Amino acid sequence: FLFATWHLVWPLKHFFAGEVDAGQALFEAVGLLISTGIGGLVFGYLYHKTDNLWAAFLAHFINNTVLNIVFIQTAEGLQSGVEFGLFLAIWLPGYLALIPLIGWLTRKYSLPQITAWKTETE
């Protein structure tokens, strides 16, 4: 939730800079909340499975690098329907592919298995 909320700075920036109207900023905000919310869950899962913040950091770095390479901005400042489809076609499978990849790496390199936190009452 916090990871997703942090990314709302972009639609706010675009709105206050006069690059988009309120409806476009809201559309961008909703898209960012969904995409970065899922991303935050994936990065959290990577940390949980590996007990290593570098796994989440590397996944975030790869994600941003790929998206920066393929991202095409329209004159209006928002993605068109075709570009948004390309974004989803690359982004969603990429996140989903990280889950089995991290599981495989965890087993291959004998990374520690995560156990549930114990509370003081246990």
Tens of pLDDT along the chain (122 residues)? 888 888 888 888 889 998 888 988 898 888 888 888 888 888 888 888 788 888 888 888 887 777 766 665 544 444 545 556 666 677 677 777 777 777 777 777 776 655 666 666 65
Distance CA 113, CA 122 (A): 20
pLDDT value, residue 16: 92
Other beta carbons within 10 Å of 118: 7
pLDDT value, residue 78: 47
Q: Considering the entire predicted model, what is its pTM?
A: 0.56
45: tokens are: 């899962």
SS (H, E, C) the chain: CHHHHHCCHHHHHHHHCCCCCHHHHHHHHHHHHHHHHHHHHHHHHHHHHHCCHHHHHHHHHHHHHHHHHHCCCCCCCCCCHHHHHHHHHHHHHHHHHHHHHHHHHHHHCCCCCCCCCCCCCC
